Structure 1
Amino acid sequence: MPHVRVVCKAGKVVEVEEYYTRRALKKGLKREPNQKPTSEQQMKINEKNAVRDLTRILNTNFSETDYLVTYTYGCEDPPTVEFAKKEWQKLIRNTRNLCKRKGEAFKYVHVTEWKDKRIHHHMVMSIGNVDIREAKKLWKHGGVKIQVLDNSGQYKKIAAYLIKQTRKTFRDPDSPCKKRWTPSRNLKKPIITKTIVKADSWRKTPKIWKNYTLEDLYTGYSDYTGYPYRKYSMIRKE
């Protein structure tokens, strides 16, 4: 029975999804009961998808030569949202200009955390060969914590952390950011291909690409169709 295979290549990571469509019902394929998700379940599904999408963007565009940077405010009185938004836009503009003068591209993904705590910003960024100490000096308002990304190429934990920061606030009308995360315009997209596999069933053991190792494997039933579903990921060896 034919099934769908979706392959997503994002940097060193390759994700493969295999599933049956609703047409499989006419072929007599066993189907699990499928119930409409509650609002709470739907929120979890949406957040899971947000982490997946951000993970793919990070894996595609960033590496061990890049940084996760946290910017805080050192003033005694917490800054207003309006002030923080203005100063953050200034930092983005100044960092872009610094990279431009050095002949380097500036790429980033950032989030702002502000609800029920002192406002601060997180940014995954690439500045090429620009000295990170120069970029650090552009922030005039408090501390700058710099972490170098590891060489795994898999930044799922960072994506989950960033999504968590805006979970309850990105829809707030007073939020300085109206999205879960904000990217620069020059980020590359992961390469996604979708094919129909005519085999009667998928292999019991996933086919691992040459020079890749299996990372995660999930086999079960789709939340959407109730039909058999499989997902696994592979990471390219160094």
Structure 2
Amino acid sequence: MSYCKKTYVAGKTIIVEKGYRTEYQAGMKRKNRKNVSKEAVKNNNQKQAIKKLTLLMNANFKIGDLHLVLTYRKEERPLPEVARKNLEKFIRKLRALYRKNDKELKYIHTTEYKNSAIHHHLLINYFDIAK
């Protein structure tokens, strides 16, 4: 059985993966299907999500870009839907600031609230506002 080589180029990062082909040639029969546990599927999905995010970050961001953590005061913590709207408003204003300075805003964001106080993580490209 031959193997397949996949190469991903993202920014300054090159990731090479080698694995066996999943395609079958004419006349070959597939083996009986094994029962895959839900835990194995979850682990595989987590690995794929990490790889996808890593490639996205390496392709679009560089050293010096900003990681922002936006939090709320304890007495002013909103519901998740309101927090999402607040984040969208913040990104709109940030995008307007970047456009005003002829820059393109690149960002990745996530909101956490299930295991801790609600807060937002943003990764944005840097530009010097003072100029």
In the superposition, the TM-score normalised over structure 2's length comes to 0.83
What percentage of aligned pairs have identical amino acids? Answer: 31
CA contact (8 A) 1:106 1:128 kept: no
Q: Which has the higher contact order (CA 8 A, sep 6+)?
A: 1
The residue aligned with 2:88 is 89
Deviations 1:181-208 (A, max 9, x none): xxxxxxxxxxxxxxxxxxxxxxxxxxxx
Per-residue deviation, 1:75:
4.5
Alignment of 1:1-238 (within 5 A): 2-22=2-22, 23=24, 35-130=34-129
CA contact (8 A) 1:105 1:127 kept: no
Looking at structure 2, the residues matched to 48 and 103 of structure 1 have their Cα atoms a distance apart, in angstroms, of 37
Structure 2: segments with no counterpart, 5+ residues: none
Paired residues, what number? Answer: 124
Deviations 1:93-130 (A, max 9, x none): 00000011111111000000011421100011114333
Looking at structure 1, the residues matched to 74 and 18 of structure 2 have their Cα atoms a distance apart, in angstroms, of 52
Structure 1: segments with no counterpart, 5+ residues: 28-33, 132-238
Q: Which has the higher helix share?
A: 2
Looking at structure 1, the residues matched to 52 and 86 of structure 2 have their Cα atoms a distance apart, in angstroms, of 28
CA RMSD of aligned residues (A): 2.2
Q: Which letter maps to 2:66?
A: Y
Secondary structure at the residue paired with 2:64?
Answer: coil
